[in-house]
Amino acid sequence: QKEVEQNSGPLSVPEGAIASLNCTYSDRVSQSFFWYRQYSGKSPELIMSIYSNGDKEDGRFTAQLNKASQYVSLLIRDSQPSDSATYLCAVNDQAGTALIFGKGTTLSVSS
């Protein structure tokens, strides 16, 4: 059973702080990793994708991947109240067409 695990939170940070979100996955053959943001009652929105070990930066977001530890994380710098949402980690399955999602971490940024 392929699993993607996330701490459900809530993770509370003050405005301007760095939010750190973590995810582990069970399937060693996974090749593609994604972070989605989901506001309450809305659909998931792709924020970042990462495929190679190391860091990938896009604006205030940095994704980090460590395949040896089967670990992927998302850092949000200068957190804003509008970043308050549930962040979903997703990993492609072995066949390559499906994404396996974690349950998500709820982030709350206070002003």
Partner 1 sequence: EPEVTQTPSHQVTQMGQEVILRCVPISNHLYFYWYRQILGQKVEFLVSFYNNEISEKSEIFDDQFSVERPDGSNFTLKIRSTKLEDSAMYFCASSEALTSYGYTFGSGTRLTVV
Among 20, 22, 49, 108, binds partner 1 (CB under 8 A): 49
Among 32, 52, 66, 80, binds partner 1 (CB under 8 A): 32
Closer Cβ to partner 1, 16 or 59, answer by number: 59
Size of the site for partner 1 (CB under 8 A): 24
Alpha-carbon distance 74 to 63, whole Å? 5
Confirm or reject binding of residue 5 to partner 1 (CB under 8 A): no
Helix (H, G, I), strand (E, B) or coil at 82: helix
DSSP state of 16: T
Confirm or reject binding of residue 96 to partner 1 (CB under 8 A): yes
First to last CA, the chain: 40
